[in-house]
Amino acid sequence: MLPQASFSRLVSRAAGLPRAIGRPDTTTIRTLRTVAETVPKSSIKILRLVDAVRQWRKPHMANYRSVGLVPTMGALHEGHFSLIRAAARENHHVVVSIYVNPAQFGIKEDLASYPVTWETDVAALARLDREFADDGANLGRISAVFAPTTSEMYPSGFPGQEVDSKGSFVTITPVGEVLEGASRPTFFRGVATVCMKLFNIVQPDRVYFGQKDVQQTVVIKRMVKDFMMPTDVVICPTTREPDGLALSSRNVYLGPRRRSVAVVLSKALRAAEDMYKNGRLNRSDVLGAANEVAKTTLEAQKRLPADQRVTFEVDYISMADPDTLQEVDVVDAAKGAILSGAIKMLPVEQAQSGEDLGHSGGPAVRLIDNIILAPKTE
């Protein structure tokens, strides 16, 4: 487990703050409370503190101006921008949160190396907001970026990443315990907890998530329903590269060699989807097609020399009920199903001279993807 000071430094970097903000520097905190920040070359406000967000939100609520929230951990890409565009079409104000939440990383996961691109992120948001200003089809624009520190988000102290950590958590079961939850037992606890906090702070009319993180969307929708939260959860389609790879902030870890093979998960799920479209409903038929793609791809890679090959491990390929995420043996054609999978792209065995291995030297990177099997109509 990283010490508290390390967590604070990491998340301060994500929010574009000086490293000293990770320590209890009361002078800096007081300054942040009184100095209004904006994204350079834009009117987008940068809000660091919960009180600042609430003060910003009050008049919009009184004036019946809608607010859409797009939660992110930074390292923004076109997938995030598609969510922000959707929010701008439907709301008077858009808030983008940028916060690397340590609670959704396991103790052996990549928090320390997670890409931090604050300057690039806010510059991209400024460009996107100018696009909205020139496009009369949008209801609103990007009004604020919420970029808190961990001490702001966890006022009683960060409780830790261990499964048995003590603290104030939101747990959504059983949908948060299967698939990703089985492989990463603290992940959805961290996601649900930080989303509950963000929703309470921003009080959005709508929140926007991508389908790529399909289990996350099921967990968040269940949380909003069960806690009777007054916000609509809007799910937007997965944004993909031309070859089908789902966009993810973690793709920067891959490097060109592994990037060329990472599309195997998308191809495997597409093969399974084709079986369903051709009338196959049994698990063995549908998932058999996906597993065959993964198997043949890996076998082909293993035949290559070490300085050319790419290896990966399949964590799971799933066919589950769209509401409960429990595995199904036969797709109910009236309901459809969710095909999902996760693979771990392993570090290259032997680097070529001068090879770009990806961000942080190309560590193992876990990729997820999914496809919705739509219900069949008569």
Domain tally, the chain: 2
* Statement to judge: residues 198 and 316 lie in one domain: no
pTM score: 0.90
Using the 3D structure, point to which of 236, 264, 281 is the last residue of a domain: 236
- Which amino acid is located at 109 in the chain? E
- CATH code where residue 321 lies: 3.30.1300.10
- pLDDT for 238 equals 98
- pLDDT for 35 equals 58
Q: Which structural domain range is residue 302 located in?
A: 249-373
Active site residues: 80
* Statement to judge: residues 160 and 263 lie in one domain: no
Q: How many CB atoms lie within 10 A of CB 108?
A: 7
User: Rounded to the nearest 10 degrees, what angle do helices 50-62 and 187-202 cross at?
Assistant: 50
Point out the residues of the chain with pLDDT beneath 70. 1-35, 378
- pLDDT for 378 equals 64
Instruction: Give the closest residue to 225 by CA, choosing from 167, 166, 175.
Output: 175
- pLDDT for 377 equals 79
* Statement to judge: residues 80 and 196 lie in one domain: yes
* Statement to judge: residues 68 and 168 lie in one domain: yes
Summarised one tens digit per residue, pLDDT across range 258-275 is: 999 999 999 999 999 999
* Statement to judge: residues 281 and 172 lie in one domain: no
Q: How many CB atoms lie within 10 A of CB 168?
A: 11
- pLDDT for 36 equals 75
- Which amino acid is located at 174 in the chain? P
* Statement to judge: residues 129 and 200 lie in one domain: yes
* Statement to judge: residues 32 and 178 lie in one domain: yes
* Statement to judge: residues 230 and 254 lie in one domain: no
* Statement to judge: residues 230 and 109 lie in one domain: yes
Q: Which residue is it, tokens 């990729």?
A: 367
Burial classification of residue 63, based on how many CB atoms lie within 10 Å of its CB (0-12 exposed, 13-18 middle, 19 or more buried): exposed
- pLDDT for 112 equals 86
